């Protein structure tokens, strides 16, 4: 079997287009643009790239982008004061504090300070609780993007066996909650799981979010399974001095067995920002009291 490729890049481009159309309609009814604020503390190069890219995508989607860059040595109290100012700013619908924060800051405390109704990353415990109890809240962007790709590919996920490898708060745990909400039978595997290959072999859906290059082998995959590879790992390239990106799944091996698989790059990666824009637009509608059809985006 040669797996179908799940084209996250194309799906994300389409989602961004739909968000853009709805953002213009929002501006016409609300008399203002939907607004997303991104806060970056310090000069971490990867975070700088993400923040630049988020700002550019926000503008492209017809929304207002507010970027706040603070020096690495900013006292935590100053960051909390900025978050409080953004919480009460009517032009700001969504707030994203780029992680990781410098070591002297308490990430949990900062995330807890974000107004849950502006928490478009879905990391605030109120939104974690809403997801766990089936209430309407904000869901972390990467796992929500994975669910969108899965539903687009498979339609109903009800009754399927899903294995999530990784239990981080950002990907693994919310991914498992979302699959459960879709009525999958969910197993969460992690670094202490015994006989991971056997656990993965049971799965109709495999979501890999580990951060270990090509760890999940083709012969672990059940024939016909759908494989979602969240991992982004930079490894030495074939040409000396060059690097390339690979996922957590051995793509060549798994695509011989799986029914469908996301590539790296071009699978889950592009979904994260597209879903962030989607979440910001949903926040804008809620904050402005403007209805948005349930399945509009």
Q: Does 172 participate in binding ligand NAD (rule CB under 6 A)? A: yes
Q: Is residue 231 part of the contact set for ligand NAD (CB under 6 A)?
A: yes
Is residue 196 at the binding interface for ligand NAD, with CB under 6 A as the rule? yes
Of 14, 32, 46, 57, which is closest to residue 277 (Cα–Cα)?
57
Task: Name the burial class of residue 127, with classes exposed (0-12), middle (13-18) and buried (19+) by CB atoms within 10 angstroms of its CB.
Answer: buried
Window 210 to 229, contacts with ligand NAD (CB under 6 A): 210-212
Active site residue 48: no
- Identify whether 109 is a catalytic site residue: no
Cα(first)–Cα(last) distance of the chain, in Å? 33
DSSP 70-129: E-TT--HHHHHHHHHHHHH-TT--EEEEPSSPPTTS-HHHHHHHS-GGG-TT--SHHHHH
Q: Kindly state the greatest CA–CA separation across the chain.
A: 57
- Does residue 3 contact residue 257 with C-beta atoms inside 8 Å? yes
- CA-wise closest residue to 230 among 174, 154, 160: 174
Catalytic residue among 93, 117, 119, 121: 121
Is residue 233 a contact point for ligand NAD (CB under 6 A)?
A: yes
Based on the shown chain and the rule CB under 6 A, indicate whether residue 232 belongs to the binding site for ligand NAD. Answer: yes
Q: Which is nearer to ligand NAD, 115 or 226 (CB)?
A: 226
Out of 33, 54, 118, 173, which one is annotated catalytic?
54
Q: Do 198 and 154 contact (CB within 8 A), yes or no?
A: no
* 121 is an active site residue: yes
- Residue of 98, 226, 272, 287 that binds ligand NAD (CB under 6 A): 272
Among 19, 268, 281, 283, binds ligand NAD (CB under 6 A): 268
Question: Of the residues 33, 98, 117, 177, which is catalytic?
Answer: 98
Tell which positions 107-166 bind ligand NAD, by CB under 6 A. 142, 165-166
Instruction: Write out the residues near ligand NAD by the rule CB under 6 A.
Output: 142, 165-168, 170-172, 189-191, 193, 196, 209-212, 230-233, 268-269, 272
Which residues are catalytic, by number? Answer: 54, 98, 121
């Amino acid at each position: 079997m040669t797996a179908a490729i799940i084209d996250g890049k194309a799906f994300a481009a389409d989602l961004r287009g739909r968000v853009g159309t709805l953002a213009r309609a929002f501006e016409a009814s609300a008399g203002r643009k939907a607004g997303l604020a991104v806060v970056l503390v310090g000069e971490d190069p990867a975070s700088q790239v993400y923040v630049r890219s988020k700002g550019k995508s926000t503008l492209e989607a017809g929304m207002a982008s507010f970027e706040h860059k603070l020096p690495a040595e900013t006292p935590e109290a100053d960051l909390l004061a900025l978050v409080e100012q953004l919480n009460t700013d009517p032009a700001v619908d969504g707030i994203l504090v780029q992680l990781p924060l410098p070591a002297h800051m308490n990430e949990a405390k900062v995330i807890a300070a974000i107004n849950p109704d502006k928490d478009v990353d879905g990391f605030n415990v109120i939104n974690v609780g809403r997801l766990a109890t089936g209430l309407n809240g904000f869901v972390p962007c990467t796992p929500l993007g994975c669910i969108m790709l899965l539903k687009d590919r498979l339609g109903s996920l009800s009754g399927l066996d899903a294995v999530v490898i990784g239990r981080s708060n950002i990907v693994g745990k919310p991914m498992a909650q979302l699959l459960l909400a879709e009525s999958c039978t969910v197993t969460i595997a992690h670094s202490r799981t015994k006989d991971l290959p056997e656990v993965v072999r049971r799965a109709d859906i495999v979501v890999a979010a580990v951060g270990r290059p090509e760890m999940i082998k083709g012969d672990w995959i059940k024939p016909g399974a759908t494989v979602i590879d969240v991992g982004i790992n930079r490894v030495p390239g074939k040409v000396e001095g060059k690097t390339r990106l690979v996922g957590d799944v051995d793509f060549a091996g798994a695509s011989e067995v799986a029914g469908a698989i996301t590539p790296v790059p071009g699978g889950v990666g592009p979904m994260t920002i597209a879903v962030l824009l989607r979440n910001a637009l949903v926040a804008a509608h809620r904050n402005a009291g403007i209805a948005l059809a349930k399945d509009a985006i």
